[in-house]
Structure 1
Amino acid sequence: MNPISLISLALAMSTDAFAAAIGKGSSLHKPRFIQALRAGLIFGVIEAITPMIGWAIGHAATRWVQDWDHWIAFTLLVALGLHMIYNGLKVDDDEVEKPSQHSFMLLAVTAFATSIDALAVGVGLAFVDVNILLASAAIGLATMTMVTIGMMLGRVLGTVVGKRAERVGGVVLILVGATILYEHLSA
């Protein structure tokens, strides 16, 4: 795989995580850079691991992964998005303050939901002459960078639009899930 293809692959794999990170950043109370970097690391590590898992699965599960990855990602992202919308609607701004940090589990589930497609890509990479460790590292690094930037961008959006940002973030997650589903069903 040439360097330009590798960079393109890494950026493509990180775009849905970037959108999710904007939503996550907007639902926090003024996240600091260290919190954004923490989220970036969680997303980046998971996004780097999933193509290696897919690569290891190879031929054995190609049909199952390709047939169901979009449904799994869609279901997880819609569930997380609805949860964010519910949280954004259930209380007024002055009743409860925004959390200062998301739990590891919430970030990991969101990261996994946005990396299901990377699992399928890993399966495809098993049939191509590619250094899977290099490809996975590039995907993980791009995702870490994009999520960190997305969280900080979400901070700005959260300050501007307040509590509505959590609802918007939930809608963004649902749209990301719907887009993944649409792209796979129309292909």
Structure 2
Amino acid sequence: MDIQSLLGELVTLIIMALALGMDAFSVGLGMGLIKLRLRQIFYIGVTIGVFHIWMPLVGMLIGRLLSDTFGTIATLLGGGLLILLGVQMIFASFKKGDDPLITPVGFGLIVFALSVSLDSFSVGLSLGIYGTKTLLTVTIFGLVSMVLTWLGLLVGKKVQAWLGSYSEALGGSILLAFGLKLLFPF
């Protein structure tokens, strides 16, 4: 493989990683509207980065064996999880003093990371069929999504200070809208 085609593949993968990572940024923006410490933001970004490594990796492996039927299922599951998180955050914003049912800690963090990385699984299926370089692909996807998640969470944290008590409802609305967009592309 010559340097020009390698550079072309690298640019293509970075563009794909940015496109996939933008959902992590958007959802991070919404999740950042709840009160998070910097340590939590760090762990959330790393967790989402890891999920954006292993989800496309699994997708690529399966994509080499099966058709792209699972891509639609992954998108539906991701949309459903985001809707669930969004509705939960909206309801939690009206209950003063109660902790939200799902927070980006422990199991909630796993659900959160899974919801934003399911589209990476779908892309991994496609890339597996076409036989792209696995290690390069998953490394770029993981790093870009981690950085974009951190940016989204940090911007959300800043906005949260301005919006006060309405910030959690706004964050939930963002997650809900993003989930609906996954289920009903418009």
Q: Compute the TM-score of the two structures, normalised by the length of structure 2.
A: 0.87
Q: Equivalent residue of 1:62, what SS?
A: coil
Is structure 2 residue 29 aligned with structure 1 residue 22? yes
Q: Equivalent residue of 2:35, what SS?
A: coil
Number of equivalent positions: 177
Q: Equivalent residue of 1:127, what SS?
A: helix
Q: Aligned match of 2:122 in 120, 123, 129? A: 120
Residue 112 of structure 2 corresponds to which residue in structure 1? Answer: 110
Residue 18 of structure 2 corresponds to which residue in structure 1? Answer: 11
Residue 60 of structure 1: how far off its partner (Å): 4.5
Residue 97 of structure 1: how far off its partner (Å): 8.5
Residue 157 of structure 1 corresponds to which residue in structure 2? Answer: 159
Is structure 2 residue 146 aligned with structure 1 residue 144? yes
Is structure 2 residue 85 aligned with structure 1 residue 80? yes
Residue 119 of structure 1: how far off its partner (Å): 0.5
Residue 5 of structure 2 corresponds to which residue in structure 1? Answer: none
Distance 1:86 1:22 in 2: 18
CA distance change for structure 1 residues 67 and 25 in 2, over 3 Å: closer, same or farther? closer
Residue 69 of structure 1: how far off its partner (Å): 2.0
Q: Compute the TM-score of the two structures, normalised by the length of structure 1.
A: 0.87
4+ long deviations beyond 2 Å:
59-64, 95-98
Is structure 2 residue 41 aligned with structure 1 residue 39? no
Residue 134 of structure 1 corresponds to which residue in structure 2? Answer: 136
Distance 1:97 1:66 in 2: 34
Residue 118 of structure 1: how far off its partner (Å): 0.7
**1:129-161 deviation line (CA, Å, top 9, x unaligned):** 411111111011001101111111111111000
Q: Aligned match of 1:68 in 65, 73, 96? A: 73
Residue 175 of structure 1: how far off its partner (Å): 1.1
Residue 61 of structure 1: how far off its partner (Å): 4.3
- Native 8 Å contact 2:64 2:131 kept in 1: no
Distance 1:160 1:109 in 2: 27
**1:82-131 deviation line (CA, Å, top 9, x unaligned):** 0111111111xxx4689xx8312212211111111110111111122411
